[in-house]
Amino acid sequence: MPLPLGYKHSPDTLTKMSEAQRRPDVRSRKSEAMKRVYQSTEARERTRLSSTGRHHSSETRERLSIARRSRGVAPPVTAMTRAKMSARRKGVNKSALTRLRISAGRRKLYAERPDILARQVETALAASLSKRGRRYQYLSAQGEHLSFRSSWELEFAQAMDHCGAQWGYETDRLLLSDGTVYVPDFKIPKWGFYVEIKGRPYPKGMHKIELARQAGHAIVVLDRARLTALIAFLMTRKKEVH
């Protein structure tokens, strides 16, 4: 018998229904049923088209967030799902409003869950000690104790010392026209230019280099191929480069 129009279940009934839906056997049956439905390409395409362009309201997002936190942990994300998410985000710049929302959401989450903030801090510290955050120590021919960010910088410094050239590491701070500061990797006084070693030409870093060049500073950017060729040349010029 259908329920009359406008009928509402009591809170106790709603609670019982919610608990029944969370039972493992019920969840398993629903999962199997959904798998059977979405075995067809047509069903998956209909769902995709129906959800395209639709967004949850702020109230719905808040209820979903509370529900996820109440379960203790977020549902696991498969490697395939992570790969798809990464592919969709690659090359897409977030708007200023989106970045503000993300920042506000993180601050709220960290205030409510200090344990998550602690885990984030631990992860960042671990990354700084990993290979990615590794520093390469070196005692130069001038007796300076230096700490390089990459092994490429270390190799270049060793080659410069090998041929007897004078050089400095991150000695100058160049004030740029946009108000930012650029610190070149190496200063070679006798060569009359700075040397910047870059594995990848990231837009932000290259923008600073272009501004420095516009200000009259001579800067040579070395990628791996050019750096290898220069080091090979320097290693054959024992004490001949000044």
Residue type, 204: K
Distance (Å) of CA 103 to CA 58, 96, 109, 151: 16, 11, 10, 34
Q: Are residues 205 and 145 in the same domain?
A: yes
- Write down the pLDDT at residue 36: 81
Predicted confidence (pLDDT) at residue 86 exceeds the cutoff of 80: no
Structure tokens at 174: 């160049």
Q: Are residues 142 and 213 in the same domain?
A: yes
Predicted confidence (pLDDT) at residue 241 exceeds the cutoff of 50: no
Question: Could you tell me the residue range of the domain that residue 153 belongs to?
Answer: 136-235
- Write down the pLDDT at residue 48: 76
- Write down the pLDDT at residue 183: 92
Cα 171 to the center of its chain, rounded Å: 29
Full-model pTM = 0.46
In a domain, 63, yes or no: no
Q: Write the pLDDT tens digit of every residue in 120-129.
A: 777 776 665 5
Per-residue pLDDT, averaged over 27-44, amounts to 81
Q: Where among 112, 134, 156 does a domain terminate? A: 134
- Write down the pLDDT at residue 119: 83
Structure tokens at 51: 């959800």
